[in-house]
Amino acid sequence: MPDTPRQPSVLFVCVHNAGRSQMAAAFLTHLAGDRVQVRSAGSAPAGTVNPAVVEALAEVGIDISAEVPKVLTTEAVQASDVVITMGCGDTCPVFPGKRYLDWRLPDPAGQGVDAVRPIRDEIEERVRALITEIAPPARA
């Protein structure tokens, strides 16, 4: 019997995969490390990540400048334990046995960094709560 539990996997989905889902995936990767497998995708991905989102994350020490929006695939949903949607509407495929959460957050598209900061901070709070729930730190 293995000593370590299976690594949970989380998929963050928004329409363009250029803002909210990128921030959430970056925070989860940054805060949980290898305790959680992280994916993000968009139902209609943009060409690039929102520059204000890149700047807002850089302010808290997270570099996503090399990230690119990815298209949502059925395989990504099937491979994830938790699917967190952020305004992708009915375009997210639903499969039995998956946990779905809908985080209602303002869309940072077209916003400057001043408008992105509160969205970033709310996403960080939600990601911290999610980590506590699905991947608590190992006890020594």
Q: Is 88 a catalytic residue?
A: yes
Q: What H or E segment, with its residue span, contains residue 12?
A: strand 9-14
Neighbours of 11 (CB within 10 A): 26
Q: Which of 13, 25, 88, 127 is catalytic?
A: 88
Residues 6+ positions from 51 with CB-CB distance below 8 Å = none
Distance CA 123, CA 135 (A): 17
Q: Which of 23, 26, 92, 131 is catalytic?
A: 92
Distance CA 124, CA 126 (A): 5
Distance CA 118, CA 108 (A): 10
Q: Which of 14, 15, 18, 64 is catalytic?
A: 14
Cβ atoms of 54 and 81 closer than 8 Å = no
Q: Is 14 a catalytic residue?
A: yes
Per the structure block, which two tokens stand in for 31? 């805060």
Active site residues: 14, 88, 92
